[in-house]
Structure 1
Amino acid sequence: MKKVFNFTLLAAVLVLSSCNNNTTPVVQSESTEASPAAGQSAVQDNESAKDVVKVAASSKDHTTLVAAVKQAQLVDALSNAGPFTVFAPTNAAFEKLPKGTVEDLMKPENKEKLQDILQYHVYVGSLNTDLMQDGQTLNEVNGGNITISKKDGKVMINNSATIIASIPASNGIIHVIDAVLLPPAK
């Protein structure tokens, strides 16, 4: 199991190191329709034909996340082939943070901190909720770990964020969550 996580981390480093190239690979996948659910506003039936960035950009509930991804210069990395599992906080989730937190993170001098937080929301690999196990640990792109818990049909991340919807994309899957995940201090 440890070799899988090391490989995952290596893959994440390779993906992130390629974010400076200006080309986006063409990804072909089977079309899977997403059923509408909470947190999926403006999500069309053909979302799985779009990459995770384009899916998030089409949601009015994720404008803060999309702005943060742009500010952190992670658009190219997340538009690559992946696959990625993105835990995507809604605008309401960002609003739960202490006043001024988002504005502070969006400052150019806090770019690395913003990248660290956003990369803590990304797992290299496509993981549907039915494949997630209670107590499972996932190594995120920033090198930190998150823990999955399942209870009463709900899937939670770090016992702080609940997955409220899942949306397939051409390069992975987006799990809409109701809280921002903050990485542990390094």
Structure 2
Amino acid sequence: MFKSMVASSFLVLAMAVSPARADDTKTIAEVIAGSKDHTILLALVKEAGLAETLSGKGEWTVFAPTDEAFKKIDKDTLAKVKGDKELLKKVLLTHAVKGTWGAAEVVKLDGKEVETLSGTKFTIHAKDKTVTVGDAKVTATDLKASNGVVHVIDTVLMPK
């Protein structure tokens, strides 16, 4: 019953805070490029050479940190990440999982560990109308794309 209430709350939250739904004929890269809140993420995706991957075929779920999330990172840490293309790729792949996981599927993962494309594992929690992936709070969900889905998060996930 409780999980049902959390799932319902999460879906209501998703509808309330999500920007206009992306046209699901756009790729994940195009969804991110169309967001005014993801300019830093877009620049880093291009710098890491991952824009083509996010424009290609496949199914991914991307937990996309906002510009504000990147601004919370220590400047030295961000400079180190930007200065090392392999580390940058690893950080960015820490925000993606294989498969398309909509909000309803994410809520069902409450308490479970998920492995990202970088190999880093995070636990998903769904409690009191809040969903987190590791330390990141999900603030908008189900931005659909032709090759997956994007959920917006408020914190940059770092590989472990």
Is the structural similarity TM-score above 0.5? Answer: yes
| Among candidates 35, 45, 50, match of residue 26 of structure 2 | 50
- TM-score w.r.t. the length of structure 2 is 0.83
Query: What is the CA–CA distance in structure 1 between the aligned matches of 2:31 and 2:150, rounded to whole Å?
Result: 8
**Equivalent residue number for residue 155 of structure 2:** 179
Given that 2:32 and 2:42 are in contact with CA atoms closer than 8 Å, whether structure 1 keeps it comes out as yes
Q: When the two structures are aligned, how many residues end up with a matched partner?
A: 144
> One-letter code of the match for 1:37?
V
Query: What is the CA–CA distance in structure 2 between the aligned matches of 1:46 and 1:154, rounded to whole Å?
Result: 22
Q: Identity, % of aligned pairs?
A: 39
Query: What is the CA–CA distance in structure 2 between the aligned matches of 1:57 and 1:147, rounded to whole Å?
Result: 28
**5 Å matches for 1:151-170?**
151-158=127-134, 160-166=135-141, 167-170=143-146
- TM-score w.r.t. the length of structure 1 is 0.72
**Equivalent residue number for residue 122 of structure 2:** 146
Given that 1:129 and 1:155 are in contact with CA atoms closer than 8 Å, whether structure 2 keeps it comes out as no
The two structures, once aligned, show a CA RMSD in angstroms of 1.8
Which one is further off, 140-149 or 88-97? Answer: 140-149
Measured after TM superposition, the shift of residue 139 of structure 1 is 1.5
Measured after TM superposition, the shift of residue 46 of structure 1 is 4.8
**Equivalent residue number for residue 126 of structure 1:** 100
**CA deviation profile, 1:7-39 (whole Å, cap 9, x unmatched):** xxxxxxxxxxxxxxxxxxxxxxxxxxx96735x
**Equivalent residue number for residue 87 of structure 1:** 63
Given that 1:163 and 1:176 are in contact with CA atoms closer than 8 Å, whether structure 2 keeps it comes out as yes
**Equivalent residue number for residue 114 of structure 1:** 88
**5 Å matches for 1:30-45?**
37=17, 40=19, 45=21
**5 Å matches for 1:10-89?**
37=17, 40=19, 45-89=21-65
Query: What is the CA–CA distance in structure 1 between the aligned matches of 2:93 and 2:113, rounded to whole Å?
Result: 16
Can you give the 5+ residue segments of structure 1 that lack an aligned partner in the other structure? 1-33
**CA deviation profile, 1:54-112 (whole Å, cap 9, x unmatched):** 000011100000000001101111112221000000000000101243344223xx000
**Equivalent residue number for residue 27 of structure 1:** none
**Equivalent residue number for residue 9 of structure 2:** none
Helix, strand or coil at the partner of 2:123: strand
**CA deviation profile, 1:143-178 (whole Å, cap 9, x unmatched):** 1212100101211011x1111112111111000000
